[in-house]
């Protein structure tokens, strides 16, 4: 999944245990609308540094996985959701920043050509 918005807040990396660390940030979607949404994401392990090249107010695209888990506590069963980000791209630049591209290959698509020859090149 992916979503575009403004980086509202980025938090420091939290070391939860000697084998697990996480970093949270908030993305504001529809910032100019009547009802902007402030969505919390997290980065884990070696992905925590992906956010270092970005500043609050930057327009970014976040690629993420939706995670859910069940917890059986003293008050009964509860369910939790996590939006786990795995790649971030800056929108208002020539391409993804070095921090975003360090974890995967290029995600840029080929440019669309407007030549007349391309108009007849349909697969059906």
What H or E segment, with its residue span, contains residue 90? strand 76-90
Report the number of distinct structural domains present in the chain: 1
- Predicted confidence at residue 114, as pLDDT, reads 42
Joined together, the tokens standing for residue 76 give 């009964």
Left, alpha or beta for 45 (phi > 0: left; psi -120 to 50: alpha)? Answer: left
pLDDT tens, position by position, 18-37: 999 999 999 999 888 899 99
Nearest-angstrom CA–CA distance, 35 and 23: 26
For residue 18, give its domain range: 2-105
CATH of the domain at 62: 2.40.50.140
- Predicted confidence at residue 93, as pLDDT, reads 53
Residue 82 pLDDT > 90: yes
Q: Quick one: which of 49, 58, 1 has its CA closest to 26?
A: 58
Does some domain include residue 118?
Answer: no
State pTM to two decimals. Answer: 0.69
Does some domain include residue 45?
Answer: yes
Nearest-angstrom CA–CA distance, 86 and 44: 8
């Amino acid at each position: 999944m992916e979503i575009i918005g403004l980086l509202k807040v980025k938090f420091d990396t939290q070391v939860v245990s000697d084998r697990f660390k996480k970093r949270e940030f908030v993305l504001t979607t529809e910032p100019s609308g009547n009802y902007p949404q402030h969505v919390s994401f997290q980065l884990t392990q070696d992905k925590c540094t992906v956010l270092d090249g970005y500043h609050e107010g930057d327009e970014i695209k976040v690629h993420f996985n939706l995670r859910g888990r069940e917890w059986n506590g003293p008050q009964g069963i509860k369910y939790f959701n996590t939006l786990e980000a795995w790649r971030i791209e800056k929108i208002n630049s020539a391409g993804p920043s070095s921090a975003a591209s360090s974890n995967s290959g290029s995600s840029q698509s080929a440019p669309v050509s407007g030549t007349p020859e391309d108009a007849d090149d349909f697969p059906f």
